[in-house]
Structure 1
Amino acid sequence: MSKHLYQHIETLWQYMQMGQQLSQADVILVFCSNDVRVAEYAASLYHQKLAPYLLFSGGQGRFTEGLFDKSEAETFATIAKDAGVPSEHILLETHATNSGENVLLTHELLQQKSIQTQRIILVQKPFMERRAFATFEKQWPEHYQSLVVTSTGDAFFDYLNEEFTLDVALTALLEDFSRIKTYPEQGFQTEQIIPDEVEQAYHALLRLNL
């Protein structure tokens, strides 16, 4: 891989992560997916006593249908329990199929359980941090005090494994950046400032037909 290609990938990858400082919250909200490392990381945040509840949101998405025996949320919850998170501190939302539903259905669940939520930690895959943040900003139906998004924070090539190969991860990165550009006008998420060097890296990768 050429040096320029590597730089383009890392530029885009770093932009999609927000690099925010963790702080105390009322709930750790996990947008579930096909990457179980997210569940392991979320459990570690609970053990740091950053919030009293760990809420997993996810039914079956386009990448997990047929992959898990249960919903994404139930699958992630099992991993968290195996990591020592008590069942009574785990909440499940098992129907969401996209990020907007993650936000709205989670809000409904918290209201049903009368859990006051003013401070939220969002947990996602590294390349989906920014889109999760922008979606929450747009879709959460009431005022909140603080919102922080976080992930394992791996560098791009450190993130790759047998499931997330170079091709899979790069395709996902490009698709998610495209949504950062197009979803605001569709009302799905807030507008994000995109620096010129990030836009240039994106188009350079597209020109290479990656």
Structure 2
Amino acid sequence: MTDDQQVITEEQRQQAKLIWDHHRMHHELRPCDAAIGLGSHDPGVPVFCAELYHAGLFPTLVFSGGPNPTAPERFPRGEAVHFREHALELGVPDDAILVEPRARNTGQNIAFSRDALAAHGIRPSTVLLVSMPYMERRSFATARKIWPEVEVLCASTPLEFDAYLKTIGNEKLVVDQLVGDLQRVIEYPKFGFAVEQDVPEDVYAAYASLLAAGFDSRLLTS
């Protein structure tokens, strides 16, 4: 077993679950004017987008994302293109989907999707962001900064932390990502990328402990 595949301890699992729960926004979902499926390495995003579309939560869906920097081999033609194809296979009609294939970060996901919707005459007042589970809070904070005039709801595949660990199959990678996303939640407001989010003391303590234990492969590099 390599370092990247190491099994986390029970204490680390509990610390990671604290951060996982903080990342989830726990929004009560309701119909929105449009949805954005945020690009990532997680194929669960288009699956859940399709489920929410069929449940009648939105009429128009934008998939946003270029090549994935973490796993470029997974979606060689770009995240948005592959996500669209998966959604079509799951019965979402082609005329309900817009593709935004240029975004390389969450800020661009939001800004470019807003532009794609506007280009089709859609100026929503409510937007549903569909992301990986641990990306909800960061995407919310980013959208509130970049697109403050819309009401933002967040959603992700309704998996508990242990189930998500099993789905990904790499415990250290998941914890590294949880830590990296929380660092961005904390740091991005300083750069004007996102609005401030309160981080409870116990969540911050778990974050500091996991950082000290070496769960740092997804940290900002500068």
Q: CA deviation at 1:162?
A: 6.5
Q: CA deviation at 1:208?
A: 2.0
Q: CA deviation at 1:64?
A: 3.8
CA distance in 2, matches of 1:128, 1:37: 13
Aligned to 1:175: 180
Amino acid aligned to 2:123: Q
SS at match of 2:37: strand
Amino acid aligned to 1:133: F
Aligned to 2:52: 45
CA distance in 1, matches of 2:56, 2:178: 31
Q: Residues 180 and 192 of structure 1 are in contact (CA less than 8 Å); yes or no, is this contact kept in structure 2? A: yes
Aligned to 2:83: 76
Aligned to 2:117: 110
CA distance in 2, matches of 1:186, 1:161: 35
Gaps of 5+ in 1: none
Gaps of 5+ in 2: 1-7, 216-222
Moved over 6 A (4+): none
TM-score (norm 1): 0.94
CA distance in 2, matches of 1:33, 1:172: 12
Output the aligned Cα RMSD: 1.5
CA distance in 2, matches of 1:74, 1:191: 32
TM-score (norm 2): 0.89
CA distance in 1, matches of 2:142, 2:169: 24
Q: Residues 64 and 72 of structure 1 are in contact (CA less than 8 Å); yes or no, is this contact kept in structure 2? A: no
CA distance in 2, matches of 1:18, 1:30: 16
Aligned to 1:186: 191
Amino acid aligned to 1:44: E
SS at match of 1:149: strand
Aligned to 1:36: 43
Q: Residues 68 and 75 of structure 2 are in contact (CA less than 8 Å); yes or no, is this contact kept in structure 1? A: no
1:209 aligned to 210, 214, 219, which one? 214
Amino acid aligned to 1:121: L
Task: Work out the number of aligned pairs and report it.
Answer: 208
